[in-house]
Amino acid sequence: MRSHGRRAGLSLIELIISLVVVSIIGVSITRLLTTQTRFFSKLSLGRDARSVTRQARNLIQSELSMVEIGGGVVAASNDSITVRVPIAFGLYCASGTMMLLPTDSMYLAAASLDGFAIKDTTVAGVYTYTALTATAAGTAANCTGGAIQITAPTGGLYRNLTPSPSGTQASPIFLYQTVTYKFAASTLVSGQRGLWRKASTGAYAEIVAPFDTSAKFRYYNLYADTAQTTVPTLANIRGVELRLDAKAPQPTPGQPTNRESSSIRTAIFFRNRMDS
């Protein structure tokens, strides 16, 4: 009689059990990868949101910190601020001529010179602002040949200003550019707000986005210790608190209506006057 050996292989039940186990492992790995991908995406979007706040803070701080107390703020609200930013400093000579201290030539050429501010010689040291209608190469003799001889250092210049400044010889004077910052609807990120900048009478340019609707300007009033939402009298503004509530440019993965956010509060105080 022939003996029949048992055939090697898997039974149907063993095969089904193997497939179930493999499926469970596969689903677990897929979920782990999905979770890790979303986690790293969230971290990346968080960095993007923080980058938005830093870019805005650095740009605004570099200009607002130069604003002169008393006459530097032209207009202000919680959504926007317009200031006169000093571009170049010097001394007034005579006959409409000023001695200009060394200034980066490309920076000076790129700026729109909107006017000048000359400081009186009293203890108060108040600056008087005047809009420029024209400026040209200055007459050196108006500075070097006066009762007080004012000579430009290496790299300095002489500039003729129109209209002619009204002030005493050797009074501090600076040229300024008018700059406006505002929060408004973004064109870079649809449905969000962006930070816009305009120099002089030029067009607004969106410099960074997006921001939450809570992003705004708050102001430090004369003799006040904390910033306030209500805009003070412009001449009494001593600084600005930037509330930069930024968002990531892209929605959070799996949450199309949510964006990672980052918030920075920065205080910028004006300077260029000793009695405030």
With respect to residue 9, please indicate whether it lies within any of the assigned structural domains. no
Share in percent of the chain as helix, strand, coil (round to 5): 25, 35, 40
Q: For residues 106 and 235, state if they share a domain.
A: no
Of the two residues 55 and 242, the one the predictor is more confident about is 242
Structure confidence by residue, pLDDT tens digits, 177-190: 999 999 999 888 88
Please give the residue range of the domain that contains residue 50: 43-76+179-269
Residue partners of 160: CB distance under 8 A and separation at least 6: 96, 97, 135, 136, 137, 138, 139
| Domain final residue pick, 127, 160, 176 | 176
- pLDDT score, position 276: 42
With a cut of 60, say whether residue 265 has pLDDT above it: yes
210 within 8 A of 258, measured Cβ to Cβ: no
| Domain final residue pick, 152, 176, 200 | 176
- Which band of pLDDT confidence, cut at 50, 70 and 90, is reported for residue 43? low
Number of domains in the chain: 2
Averaged pLDDT, 71-75 = 94
Q: For residues 165 and 121, state if they share a domain.
A: yes
Q: For residues 215 and 258, state if they share a domain.
A: yes
Structure confidence by residue, pLDDT tens digits, 107-139: 777 788 999 999 887 666 789 999 999 999 999
In 3D, which of 198, 235, 221 has the Cα closest to residue 63?
Answer: 198
236 within 8 A of 222, measured Cβ to Cβ: yes
Q: For residues 65 and 202, state if they share a domain.
A: yes
For the whole model, what pTM was predicted?
0.78
